[in-house]
Amino acid sequence: MIGIVGYGAGNSASVRNALLKIGVPCVISKGPEELEKANGIILPGVGSADATMEALDKMGYRELLERRVRRGGVPFLGICVGLQILFSHSEEGDCDCLGWFSGQVRRFRGELRVPQIGWNAVNFAGDNPLTKGVPDGTCFYFVNSYRAVPEEDGICAGVTDYGGNFCSMVHRDNIYAAQFHIEKSGEPGLRMLENFAALAGEKEEA
């Protein structure tokens, strides 16, 4: 079973529907105890980093995620804000985040339209279990005003150009995350969810 962290994110139902479409059992949790036996955990995200961190702390998810994902090695997938809060700090709400990756989350500068809304290409940084079977340069659906700026080498798994290149995917060990909305990106997004489900032992490798 794949557990979707239920803390009020607007795209939780879309993630669930996408998983059910590819035949993967899943549940949107009502509390951290429902994720204790999940074979994979997805943290969706719509909204601000500060509100997300407040909700995770208030509902007791931070300890669960630290224990099961960071220390326990359970496959984890962050989506949109679910990527941003993996870093040390976000300009959005001037908040400290989970700090799993060293780096900052910063607002797009200059005269760029924010949020970035629409389809944009992702250039993958080498082979990755999450992107197996997805061609390099595939377009995915974005809605974001902020982007992650990693401070450590080797974690950026995908790059996207919006007024210059930014890191749109990260990966280290059992932790995967995408700035774009995997669940709203059509067949390529479904393939990535299938790959994640395979990592969690919930689906055979395609």
What are the catalytic residues? 80, 181, 183
Taking the CA atoms of the chain, what radius of gyration do you get in angstroms? Answer: 15
Q: Let me know: does 29 contact 6? Beta carbons within 8 Å.
A: yes
Tell me if the bond preceding 115 is cis, omega within 30° of 0: yes
CA atoms within 13 A on the CB side of 148: 35
Tell me the residue ranges of DSSP E strands in the chain.
2-4, 26-28, 40-43, 76-79, 87-90, 95-96, 101-107, 116-121, 123-124, 139-144, 146-150, 156-161, 165-172, 175-178
- Asked whether the beta carbons of 8 and 180 are under 8 A apart, the reply is no
Distance in angstroms (rounded) separating the CA atoms of residues 126 and 106: 25
For strands 40-43 and 2-4, give the pairing.
Answer: parallel
The span from the CA of 45 to the CA of 102, in Å, is: 20
Q: Residue 103 carries which side chain, given as an amino acid letter?
A: G
In this structure, what token pair is assigned to residue 11? 């795209």
